[in-house]
A and B are shown apart, each in its own frame.
Chain A
């Protein structure tokens, strides 16, 4: 067993941390909250030059051929200063969908510009009545000659307001929540009939509600097999969860550091408030939660690439539940220990609290993952269980 980073991984981790500190300190998110895009194309391009946007992609499309552990290191660093660029939406979600299901031509056409930082992507899967069930798809893709006509609505599409291309899950057959009958499509948002309504999300990022009104798509826009895309969607969402966990660790680390700094500076009753045992123990409880979330984030990153569905889902759901529990506790207590200033918009801790909530609500919340975990054969005495 070895959890030491390789020299390459150490380099990735250090350069990502330095990038976050220098190129995108937290003041940047604060300023970009009011911007209609919410991030900068120049910074995205720079991330491409650093090789990060191709971290999960093979060399034939210009990628780095890394593992998800490598991506996790970048995400943790991006989380530490809440870097607003759409790494999660583009690289982790849509990029993985195209890598897993795309033809050679699709991979070349859509992943090439992603790797260089010339394009951003989005993954439109959520629907208003679906809760977190990825099989619950009501957007329809009706056969029309050799192509399709796409109709329906997707909600809260991360980076949907600015993406050059969207990967959209749509039903090509079957009833509304049937596992079979889900397909994926590559959609240019400038296509006739695509209506993008930009929204600001509560964490200062931007997204979109997207309506498709009889959008004509050629057959070459279908990503992967017709009717059989649910497995890809599930894998992509598992990558999303693992990414949320890694980014979350960066958020929790920073939240704890800010809190410990404050406890060592703020004075009341003539002493540093960090000398009070009640507050010390609270800070330690935060530390224990952080390290526990780090443990499960490592587990999720290692298992994210695993083709074994049971091992992967058990690990990802474990990590996502732990992130919810630890994330809530650490960010809530960080605000509590800062006192009144922790509730002001002026103070950064609130920005971390908000982003943490968004990560908890994406890709299946705590309840969803507890239920998914308990439905796996590994929970019922089968292979891969712990009890």
Chain B
């Protein structure tokens, strides 16, 4: 943990697999006891964000294939330098190599890297996802993005005035900022509740849903305000102003926000079941 705090070590999250996306609990990556106090891990993880730079991975593995799917999962810490770990980065639509496929072939992991009880990993994973969803709420990121929208609108001529004074554009920006302010207040409520020692509950799904949508809308609005400038990709030749730099890649990459951390549809399933207690099929 001290190395996480001082930034000397970076971690990646080994949750999703090619056949375990929204249905995360169906994950197949196996960890077997080798009889010498180690686990031997075999399988494949995917969407392991920035695994190519990670020193460690916290990883969900199946330790009891006979048990009900949530009950046979354990939480292991894997050193990324261990033989048998292979990372293949993928380019995202935003042009960054953020996603990775991570292959694990006969990776030997010491038994003491098991976190929590054997077959007790699902509970830990769910609790972490609550925090992740709060983080994806991304109030600060959206504030910064919206500030850029205003800067761009203010620097763009429209008739005798600027785009910030265009009634339609101005109204769109104001509405999005109001939505963001409302979201910020929901976030404050969650923080205040955390300060009282409550773990993020299913309500953190609200932050995930709203925050991910708002961040996407910020970049959509930035692209709209940019007009023709939004056709540019990388700004190597200086064809667009510096303030517009990287908006197009972010406009693309932020399509992931409503997908990662449990897609927004999964968040809605969680709220429907755990908060509204609607009947199951």
Contacts and interface: CB of A to CB of B under 8 A. Distances in A.
Interface of A: 1-4, 260, 263-264, 271-272, 274-275, 277, 280-281, 283-285, 287-288, 291-293, 295-296, 298-299, 314, 317-319, 321-322, 370-371, 373-374, 379, 381, 386-387
Given A283-B276, A373-B178, A387 B146 contact: yes
B278 A317 contact: no
B278 A3 contact: no
Contacts of A3: 188-189, 192-193
B177 A280 contact: no
B74 to A, nearest CB: 31
B203 A321 contact: no
Contacts of B182: 292-293, 295-296, 299, 318-319, 322
B239 interface: no
Contact of A371 (B171, B203, B265, B275): B171
B195 A1 contact: yes
A275 B180 contact: no
Given A3-B189, A275-B279, A296-B181, A284 B171 contact: no
A263 B173 CA distance: 37
B185 interface: yes
Nearest to A256: B276
A317 B178 CA distance: 8
18 contacts: A2-B192, A264-B278, A275-B278, A280-B268, A280-B272, A280-B276, A285-B268, A287-B276, A288-B271, A291-B206, A292-B186, A295-B182, A296-B182, A296-B185, A370-B171, A374-B170, A386-B177, A387-B142
What 8 pairs between A and B have smallest CB-CB spacing? A387-B146, A295-B185, A280-B272, A374-B174, A272-B279, A284-B268, A295-B186, A274-B278
B180 A387 contact: yes
Contact of A284 (B150, B186, B276): B276
A255 to B, nearest CB: 13
Max chain A C-beta neighbours (<10 A), residue from B179, B185, B265, B279: B185
B143 A386 contact: yes
A291 B203 contact: yes
Interface in B153-211: 170-171, 173-175, 177-186, 188-189, 191-193, 195-196, 203, 206, 209-210
A314 B185 CA distance: 13
B197 to A, nearest CB: 12
A387 B150 contact: yes
A284 B271 CA distance: 6
B66 interface: no
Contacts of B277: 260, 264
A2 B144 CA distance: 26
- Chain B: interface size category: 35 or more
Given A1-B192, A292-B182, A321 B177 contact: no
Contact of B281 (A2, A275, A321, A386): A275
Contacts of B196: 4
Interface majority SS (helix, strand, loop, mixed), chain B: helix
Contacts of A260: 276-278
B280 interface: yes
Nearest to B193: A3
B255 interface: no
A263 B278 contact: yes
A278 B195 CA distance: 35
A319 B181 CA distance: 9
B19 interface: no
Nearest to A366: B175
A296 B189 CA distance: 11
B147 interface: yes
Contact of B173 (A319, A321, A374): A374
B130 to A, nearest CB: 16
B189 A288 contact: no
Contacts of B191: 1
B271 A271 contact: no
Interface in B131-156: 142-144, 146-147, 149-150
Interface in B259-281: 265, 268-269, 271-272, 275-281
Nearest to A283: B276
A386 B184 contact: yes
Contacts of B189: 3, 295, 298
Contacts of A374: 170-171, 173-174
Contacts of A264: 277-279
Contact of B271 (A287, A314, A321, A373): A287
A251 to B, nearest CB: 17
Max chain B C-beta neighbours (<10 A), residue from A275, A288, A387: A387
Contacts of B275: 287
Contacts of B146: 386-387
A7 B261 CA distance: 37
Max chain A C-beta neighbours (<10 A), residue from B173, B209, B271: B271
Contacts of A272: 279
A264 B277 CA distance: 9
A318 B210 contact: no
A105 to B, nearest CB: 41
Nearest to B170: A374
A285 B150 CA distance: 29
Contacts of B269: 277, 280
A148 B149 CA distance: 52
B155 to A, nearest CB: 13
Contacts of B185: 295-296, 298-299
